């Protein structure tokens, strides 16, 4: 299997986000599914069960892309990076009942940091491998 920065980052981020999602379920017992006031993960990041599911799904997508091939890893890094960039920006303006993921300020900066790394590697490396075309 060919190693690449995209595969390495997708695999590492995938494993971390998957683990974070699973650990999140251990602290959100009694927290409403989409409650705006979640439990604190690592004493810093607010999560609720819906947020945990998002972490598990994103982690799984990254991990699958990372262990598949360079093209898949590059594609998933770009897509997840773009989604995190959007979430990181929009998160600063989301509050009250719209905040179904129980996002807090540390989450916004984590999402932006993840976006920078995922997009930086996704767009900046493995130039000979273009991302897989989007299908409708």
Structural domain boundaries in the chain: 5-124
Q: What pLDDT tens digit does each residue of the chain (136 aa) get?
A: 678 999 999 999 999 999 999 999 999 999 999 999 999 999 999 999 999 999 999 999 999 999 999 999 999 999 999 999 999 999 999 989 999 999 999 999 999 999 999 999 999 998 765 566 666 5
Note the pTM of the prediction, 2 decimals: 0.89
Kindly provide the b/e burial profile for residues 83-120, where b requires at least 16 CB atoms within 10 angstroms of the residue's own CB: bbbebbeebeeeeeeebebbbbeebbebbbebbebbbe
């Amino acid at each position: 299997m060919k190693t690449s920065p995209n595969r390495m980052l997708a695999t590492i981020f995938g494993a971390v986000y998957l683990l974070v999602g699973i650990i999140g379920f251990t602290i959100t017992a009694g927290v409403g599914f989409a409650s705006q006031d979640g439990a604190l993960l690592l004493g810093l990041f607010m999560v609720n069960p819906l947020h945990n599911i998002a972490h598990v799904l994103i982690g799984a997508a990254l991990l699958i892309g990372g262990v598949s091939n360079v093209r898949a890893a590059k594609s998933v890094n770009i897509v997840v990076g773009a989604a995190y960039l959007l979430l990181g920006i929009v998160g600063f303006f989301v509050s009250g009942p719209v905040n179904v993921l129980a996002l807090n300020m540390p989450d916004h900066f984590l999402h932006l940091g993840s976006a920078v790394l995922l997009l930086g590697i996704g767009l900046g490396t493995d130039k000979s491998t273009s991302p897989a075309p989007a299908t409708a």
